[in-house]
């Protein structure tokens, strides 16, 4: 179990870290077929002054490189060395998936669907159990970084449960371009944080198997604003000012391909569009067919399918809806 004792000594994964000290502790994940151990580095930095414990994670899905890059920058720039309290960074939670450039664990399971895990379950479930028991308990605030799945590029956004005013407060401070109302998924890491009474923000931006500088900047800047608000950011850092308030998205809908073919995107993700605006085309490979894609309504494009080929019915644009239009609520992947 992770805990902080009366002398403010942090004990985690069997190691004790005193105030003012830092440590890199390896969470033993499992072994390869060769019996080589696979370990997850847990990077801890503590101030001499007491304060909150912030847990920053990425790579729960092993192919979501952009989230890993955000946490890497936080560490490399020493943003993770707090004025007070403790910052725990885990850039790659799913090391197995990262090594294989795959979303899932080697057992085929999505780690973000098996939390809080079980002691004697599948490999993914066992790891989730160890994480939930040995690391999560010490955290006060969790920041978890993700990207869009497959070829779908997400505009930079944080996701909060509608009606959770505490999360909304921190979402406004983080100030990603978009703040999405989204329910938690059963057995997800985010749901486990909620049930454990932890403050949590889930960030989505970019797409899997890709690293985007603009998305990484949104993630790092938002983290700095959170740390500054909590009094944890060192004075030498200039906290990035948020000039434009985050756009709150209550409802959204997927626009789907009417035809199969080659997809040609003509607009940028995050752009505000008007009804009837030209978004892209679908063509055949032979130069005989060309279908023009027009916006069905006014809104913001918050996700774009960047796959060069689509089938009829594939999701191609995710577009925000006015509050009065009811549609299926966005959920995290």
What are the structural domains, with CATH classification, of the chain? 3-229 (3.40.630.10), 251-321 (2.40.50.100)
Per cent of the chain over pLDDT 70 is: 96
Residue 327: pLDDT above 50? Answer: no
What is the average pLDDT across 106-114?
95
Residue 24 β-bridge partners: 43
Calculated CA dihedral for residues 2, 67, 269, 157, nearest 10 degrees: 20
- Residue 1 has a pLDDT of 64
Q: How would residue 20 be classed by pLDDT, with cut points 50, 70 and 90? A: very high
E runs forming strands in the chain: 3-4, 10-12, 15-17, 22-31, 37-46, 53-58, 86-90, 141-148, 152-160, 178-181, 199-207, 247-249, 251-256, 261-265, 272-273, 278-283, 290-294, 299-305, 309-310, 315-321
Residue 303's pLDDT is what? 98
Q: Which residue has the higher pLDDT, 195 or 326?
A: 195
**pLDDT tens-digit map of 82-103:** 999 999 999 999 999 999 999 9
What pTM does this model have? 0.94
Of 28-42, 178-192, 216-230, 288-302, the least confident? 28-42
Computed over every residue of the chain, the mean pLDDT equals 94
Query: What is the share, in percent, of the chain residues with pLDDT greater than 90?
Result: 89
Q: How far apart are alpha carbons 333 and 316 in whole angstroms?
A: 16
pLDDT value for 324: 60
Q: Given this model, what pLDDT does residue 198 score?
A: 96
Is the pLDDT at 332 greater than 60? The verdict is no
Lowest mean pLDDT among 154-163, 239-248, 254-263, 301-310: 239-248
């Amino acid at each position: 179990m992770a805990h902080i004792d009366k002398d403010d000594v942090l004990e985690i994964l069997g190691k004790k870290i005193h105030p003012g000290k830092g440590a890199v502790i390896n969470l033993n994940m499992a072994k390869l077929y060769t019996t080589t151990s696979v370990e997850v580095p847990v990077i801890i930095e503590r101030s001499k002054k007491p304060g909150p414990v912030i847990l920053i994670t990425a790579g729960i899905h092993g192919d979501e490189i952009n989230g890993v890059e955000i946490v890497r920058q936080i560490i490399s720039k020493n943003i993770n060395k707090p004025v007070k309290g403790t910052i725990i960074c885990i850039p790659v939670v799913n090391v197995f998936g990262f090594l294989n450039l795959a979303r899932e664990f080697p057992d085929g399971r999505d780690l973000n669907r098996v939390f809080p895990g079980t002691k004697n379950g599948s490999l993914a479930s066992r790891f989730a159990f160890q994480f939930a028991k040995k690391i999560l308990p010490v955290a006060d605030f969790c920041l978890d970084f993700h990207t869009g799945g497959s070829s779908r590029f997400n505009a930079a956004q944080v996701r909060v449960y509608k009606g959770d005013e505490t999360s909304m407060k921190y979402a406004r401070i983080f100030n990603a371009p978009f703040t999405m109302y989204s329910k938690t998924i059963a057995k997800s890491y985010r749901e486990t944080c909620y049930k454990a009474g932890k403050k949590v923000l889930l960030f989505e931006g970019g797409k899997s198997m890709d690293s985007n500088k603009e998305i990484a900047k949104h993630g790092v800047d938002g983290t700095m604003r959170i740390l500054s608000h909590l009094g944890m950011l060192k004075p030498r850092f200039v906290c990035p000012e948020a000039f434009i308030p985050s756009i709150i998205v209550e409802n959204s809908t997927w626009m789907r391909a009417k035809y199969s073919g080659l997809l040609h995107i003509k607009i940028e993700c995050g752009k505000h569009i008007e009804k009837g605006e030209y978004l892209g085309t679908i063509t055949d490979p032979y130069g005989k067919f060309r279908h023009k894609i027009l916006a069905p309504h006014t809104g913001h494009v918050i996700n774009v399918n960047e796959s060069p080929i689509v089938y009829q019915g594939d999701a191609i644009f995710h577009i925000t809806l006015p509050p009065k239009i009811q549609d299926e609520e966005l959920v995290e992947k």
